A and B are shown apart, each in its own frame.
Chain A
Amino acid sequence: MKYLVRALLYVVLVAPLALFIVYSFTEGWFFPAPFPSEWTTTTFQRTMDDPRTLGGMWQGFVIAVIVSLLSLILAFPAARALGLRQFRGRQIAWLMLFLPTVVPPLAIGMGLNILFLRVGLAGTIMGVSLAHLISTLPYTVFTLSSAFARYDENYEHQALALGANPMQIFFNITLRMMTPSLVVATLFAFLVSWSQYLLTLLIGGGKIITLPVLLFTAASGGNPSTIAIKSLLFILPPALVIAFTARELNRHGNEIREQY
């Protein structure tokens, strides 16, 4: 029984990856052939030569970088206050930040679509980034504030007593002690933004076409090999991040929850 559960667990994890890889490098694999007969890289090369593929990846990457930086800058002070201070209105602040995690992206996107069309942010990298920020910011704040809740401020007091100035304290104490959580929070924000489809579609309005948008279009009725290649490119960054942050992920995994 135990082996069966474990086998199922790994099948679920590995099967889609294997499927994408096999499909990416075959051609003319149709019903009823149980296995591909022809191995080729032509479809892969054709997809990579298509400027939309690399363009989509690049746009998605730029947006995800902007979103993670903005989330980090905005979340850091907020998370510190939530994690270390007791103050009047703390509950309300927490609730306001919780709200975007339950309001459906569909509703946020449809409303923002109208707003951003009016202020000229629709169809721009900045507009799409701001829209993504709504879904990443709460997670960045919560990840960092749970780290701050375990953070011992006495190290800072110690440094102050020893004559360190605020800049030194920030860079040598605070930032150093928070580095692991900062890395995880930034990567989460990056991944949530990278895989965002609906908000990109609604705000990008056909001008900002990221990889998930291309993948969705392909999956709605395209060549299986093309679909598989785009899926592979799409899950490459998440796969890399998971491989490199395995230990941290075990601790924080559930904080990324469902946004993506």
Chain B
Amino acid sequence: MKFRPSPYLALAPALIVITVMLGASLFYAVLESFGIIRVIGQDALSLDAYRDVLSGTGAAGGEFWVSLGFSLWVSAASTIFSSALALMAAVWLSSQKNQADTLAINGHLAFPHLAWATALLLLFSQSGILARWAAALGWIDVPADFPILVRDSFGVGIILHYSIKEIPFLALIVLGVLRSQPVGYDVVAENLGASRWQRLRYVMIPQVMPALFAGALLVFGLIFSSYEVPALLGIGYPRALPVLALRFFLDPDLRARSEGMVISLIITLIVLAVAVVSLKLEERKE
């Protein structure tokens, strides 16, 4: 065919844009993490920022290990909760013929994180709507009696946010698997006398597990590296790694900037490693 262009030519514009911007941004990030900040004429390579962060001694580094632990805890807890809830939602949805419910799930997926976090703030803060209703019912007298659910030191607000917000993404993955499987397995199991619970436990769950696990890893990476939600629903100490990284990247003290950059690169490495595992799992599934 004459008008058929080479695939390389067709892909070139998109790939060049991505490669140039991603490559250049990574290049400058690594430079700055080594303390090379050209604007102020500092171009001697130094490993100080890495040392300060990893040994937990620098301006930002002092908080590094605490923040890493906090981020791991929040991401792991949210991922586990949302996966469990998503599995339940998908099993329920797969028995529904109602399109409206699938649409509702999609609607929740499309609800921006920033708006969802804002809604949680208005609902769950100590003088929020739920606290007012509790007061109206006579359960509490003053806002301070209401449990601290958002902006708390254990990340409860952040976990609450993601546990619910990530259900649709994972539920739709599980639903995709369930709908692509022949109904036969389930019917055979039923004929062999398997109870509802047994069918769920030995037929459905083994089928969806690989896909759910791969999806859960992506969710973990997303939560681990996101800034807005822990910034809004978290507190000053302990704070999530991305919040720490950005705070020091924007610091007027340029030594702290390098440390912020080092932390951001560590986050990126962890997320990439998790994504690679997720991809490998998905390949094996195919």
Residues of A within 8 A of B (CB): 2, 5-6, 9-10, 12-13, 15-16, 19-20, 23, 30-34, 73-75, 77-78, 80-82, 85, 87, 89-90, 93, 96-97, 99-100, 102-115, 117-118, 130-131, 133-134, 137-138, 141, 157, 160, 166, 169, 191, 195, 197-198, 212, 215-216, 219-220, 224, 227-228, 231, 234-235, 238, 241-242, 246, 249-250, 253-254, 256-258, 260
Contact assessment for A99 and B22 in the assembled complex, using a CB-CB cutoff below 8 Å: yes
Contact pick for A231, options B1, B10, B118, B261, CB 8 Å: B118
Contact of A257 with B115 at beta-carbon distance under 8 Å, contacts A80-B10, A107-B267, A108-B22 already known = no
A260 to chain B minimum Cβ distance, whole angstroms, is 6
Contact assessment for A137 and B122 in the assembled complex, using a CB-CB cutoff below 8 Å: no
Contact assessment for B11 and A249 in the assembled complex, using a CB-CB cutoff below 8 Å: no
Contact pick for A78, options B14, B227, B231, CB 8 Å: B14
Contact assessment for A31 and B106 in the assembled complex, using a CB-CB cutoff below 8 Å: no
Q: How far is the CA of A10 from the CA of B102 in the complex (A)?
A: 11
Interface centre among A111, A137, A198, by most chain B C-beta atoms within 10 angstroms, is A111
Contact assessment for B122 and A228 in the assembled complex, using a CB-CB cutoff below 8 Å: yes
Q: How far is the CA of A77 from the CA of B152 in the complex (A)?
A: 49
Q: A82-B11, A227-B118, A241-B110 are in contact. List 15 more A-B contacts (CB 8 A).
A: A13-B107, A78-B14, A82-B7, A104-B268, A112-B21, A114-B32, A137-B17, A166-B3, A219-B118, A220-B232, A235-B111, A250-B103, A250-B106, A260-B112, A260-B113
Contact assessment for B117 and A96 in the assembled complex, using a CB-CB cutoff below 8 Å: no
Contact assessment for A137 and B119 in the assembled complex, using a CB-CB cutoff below 8 Å: no
Closest to A250 in B: B102
Q: How far is the CA of A89 from the CA of B24 in the complex (A)?
A: 22
- Residues of chain B contacted by A31 (CB below 8 angstroms): 127, 131-132, 135, 143
- Residues of chain A contacted by B271 (CB below 8 angstroms): 102-104
Contact pick for A254, options B7, B101, B173, CB 8 Å: B173
Contact assessment for B272 and A103 in the assembled complex, using a CB-CB cutoff below 8 Å: yes
Stretch of B51-59, B61-69, B242-250 lying at the A interface: B242-250
Interface centre among B22, B89, B101, B221, by most chain A C-beta atoms within 10 angstroms, is B22
Contact assessment for A253 and B172 in the assembled complex, using a CB-CB cutoff below 8 Å: yes
Q: How far is the CA of A2 from the CA of B260 in the complex (A)?
A: 48
Q: How far is the CA of A191 from the CA of B118 in the complex (A)?
A: 18
Contact assessment for B29 and A111 in the assembled complex, using a CB-CB cutoff below 8 Å: yes
Contact assessment for B242 and A106 in the assembled complex, using a CB-CB cutoff below 8 Å: yes
- Residues of chain B contacted by A97 (CB below 8 angstroms): 14-15, 18
| B123 interface residue per 8 A CB criterion | yes
The 3 closest A-B pairs by CB, nearest first: A111-B25, A104-B225, A16-B119
- Residues of chain B contacted by A195 (CB below 8 angstroms): 112-114
Q: How far is the CA of A15 from the CA of B35 in the complex (A)?
A: 48
Contact of A234 with B25 at beta-carbon distance under 8 Å, contacts A31-B127, A107-B264 already known = no
Task: Tally the A-B contacts, defined by beta carbons under 8 Å.
Answer: 244
Contact assessment for B110 and A253 in the assembled complex, using a CB-CB cutoff below 8 Å: yes
Interface on chain A toward B: helix, strand, loop, or mixed SS? helix
Contact of A219 with B232 at beta-carbon distance under 8 Å, contacts A81-B7, A104-B271, A212-B114 already known = yes
Contact pick for B5, options A16, A77, A106, A109, CB 8 Å: A77
Interface centre among B106, B231, B267, by most chain A C-beta atoms within 10 angstroms, is B106
| B28 interface residue per 8 A CB criterion | yes
Contact pick for A12, options B102, B136, B164, B173, CB 8 Å: B164
| B129 interface residue per 8 A CB criterion | yes
Contact of A34 with B110 at beta-carbon distance under 8 Å, contacts A12-B164, A78-B10, A219-B121 already known = no
Contact assessment for A197 and B228 in the assembled complex, using a CB-CB cutoff below 8 Å: yes
| B116 interface residue per 8 A CB criterion | yes
Interface centre among B21, B121, B225, by most chain A C-beta atoms within 10 angstroms, is B21
- Residues of chain A contacted by B84 (CB below 8 angstroms): none
| B19 interface residue per 8 A CB criterion | yes
- Residues of chain B contacted by A104 (CB below 8 angstroms): 225-226, 242, 264, 267-268, 271
| B26 interface residue per 8 A CB criterion | yes
- Residues of chain A contacted by B109 (CB below 8 angstroms): 253-254, 256
Q: How far is the CA of A97 from the CA of B245 in the complex (A)?
A: 26
Contact assessment for B25 and A254 in the assembled complex, using a CB-CB cutoff below 8 Å: no
A220 to chain B minimum Cβ distance, whole angstroms, is 7
- Residues of chain B contacted by A89 (CB below 8 angstroms): 8
- Residues of chain A contacted by B232 (CB below 8 angstroms): 216, 219-220
Contact pick for B114, options A191, A216, A254, CB 8 Å: A216
| B72 interface residue per 8 A CB criterion | no
- Residues of chain A contacted by B104 (CB below 8 angstroms): 9-10, 13
B215 to chain A minimum Cβ distance, whole angstroms, is 9
